[in-house]
Amino acid sequence: MTQTQAGIADTAEQTGATQTLGSFVARLRFDALPAEVVAKTKLLIRDGIGNQLAASVIAEPARVAHELVAEFGGAEQATVTGYGTRLPVPFAAMVNAMLGHGVELDDAHGQALTKSGSLLIPSVLTTGEFRHRSGADTITAAAAGYDVMVRLGLAVNPGNRKRGFHTTGTVGAIASSAAAAKQLGLDEDQVTDALGLGAMQSAGIQAYLDFPCMAKPLSPGKAAFNGTLAAMLASKGFTGPRRGLESREGFFSAYTDGVDLDQIHSGLGTSFKVMEVGFKPHAACRYAHGPIDAAQAIRAEHGLRPDQVAGVRVRMGELAVRQSGRTEVPNLNSAMGSTPFGVALALLHGLNGLGDYTKGFADQDVHRVARDVELVPEPSYGLMGRQAVVEVILPDGTTLTHAVDGPRGEPDNPLSETELENKFLGLASMRVGDAAAREISDMVMRLEEVGDVSDLVALLAKG
């Protein structure tokens, strides 16, 4: 343990949560990051960039948001991925975060209920471009942001989600503040100010689950906007509530029924939460991934025609059913958020990539099977369990069954480096072509050697 890390750990229980996290973020240095944390953070940065580039081709919500903020104009401080438009940092961060969440392939932490990369990667790249920060600075800011986001998500859930909040939006505003403040080079008090200002702007409900619309990516979008705004205000001397998380009128009191402060303090500065984050192989809600894995296994073993599927039963955790149970999907975004559709697509087509959803959405057999998928809450999985069992009923009554303990892509069931690279290249090439996608990948994989992250961002405006 370095002296800086020891100081963070020693003071963690003696100060409030806001100040503790502010001190951690301000004092974290690149040379204090273990090699595996650096490597994982680079993979997550690349993954987030790939999602943004692909979404800049097909994501309608982000396109509309980009059109609007481009009309606003303003100082040309940061670049909108794929489009190349240069805008004030908060606006560019907002659109990029909507892109990051635009194809349902962003990274996830199961128990924290966070999609961190969708908003943290835009936050560090826009502020890093603005301040010409190095690649090492960018890795450090991203790792700090992931730590804040996952720790807070773990601390406030399941209460935050039970109240109807979208944790990626609520906690994301605070984590974005942390990551952006780090990129802007703020001191401990200023970072703490930024965290308090981010907490004051925390927002995001999941009403889109009950009414399919464009709204879902607005949560990470506004989180990135609010977080970068908070950090930039703090950089100008704008003070915020330095007990914004834990005070009587603070975030914890307002946003959850119970908070586990040990999730914030335990291992801070020594155990980096970025290592707990998983990657998504399927363009679907993370809760759909386990059932999709199981359905793909059934398809691979048995091969199925549409007329061979008389019905499907999926056993999942309670929150998974609530989150992803829609059987009628009027648009592509709602299809990617639906476990019944994802399972039907896996059973009939075998793959659940971004292009597969586009093709599958036009296949009425997939819609028909999806309408026959029954989701059953399994009490033994608990509220937030990611286990799943898929049972396919054939016309003669025979049942084909496959169970999974959790989705592929989690740290205990990881995707290979080749799979992650191919995922990125496939997504990025949709916007910039194969050669540029490879160039971007190579630069991110040596990001600690890059003197100015603007050199990376410049590659994201091509195509």
DSSP string, 171-207: HHHHHHHHHHHHHTT--HHHHHHHHHHHHHT---B-G
Distance (Å, whole) CA 420 – CA 416: 6
Amino acid identity of 228? T
In the prediction, which pLDDT does 82 show?
A: 98
pLDDT (tens, 9 = 90+) of the chain, 463 residues, equals 233 334 433 433 445 999 999 999 999 999 999 999 999 999 999 999 999 999 999 999 999 999 999 999 999 999 999 999 999 999 999 999 999 999 999 999 999 999 999 999 999 999 999 999 999 999 999 999 999 999 999 999 999 999 999 999 999 999 999 999 999 999 999 999 999 999 999 999 999 988 889 999 999 999 999 999 999 999 999 999 999 999 999 999 999 999 999 999 999 999 999 999 999 999 999 999 999 999 999 999 999 889 999 999 999 999 999 999 998 899 998 999 999 999 999 999 999 999 999 999 999 999 999 999 999 999 999 999 999 999 999 999 999 999 999 999 999 999 999 999 999 999 999 999 999 999 999 999 999 999 999 999 999 997 6
Tokens of 244: 């914004």
**CA distance between the termini of the chain:** 45
Taking each helix axis from N to C terminus, what angle separates 35-58 and 89-100, rounded to the nearest 10 degrees?
90
| Of the candidates 396, 336, 394, 344, the residue with the CA atom closest to the CA atom of residue 365 | 344
* DSSP letter for each residue of 38-81: HHHHHHHHHHHHHHHHHHHHH-HHHHHHHHHHHHH-----EEPT
Give this prediction's pTM. Answer: 0.95
Distance (Å, whole) CA 44 – CA 148: 16
In the prediction, which pLDDT does 1 show?
A: 29
Length of the chain: 463
User: What is the three-class DSSP state of 430?
Assistant: helix
In the prediction, which pLDDT does 12 show?
A: 38
In the prediction, which pLDDT does 281 show?
A: 97
Amino acid identity of 36? E
Q: Supply angle C-alpha 433, 282, 156, rounded to 5.
A: 115
In the prediction, which pLDDT does 7 show?
A: 41
C-alpha 103: how far from chain center: 11
Pairing of strands 78-79, 311-316: unpaired
In the prediction, which pLDDT does 212 show?
A: 85
Tokens of 291: 């059932």
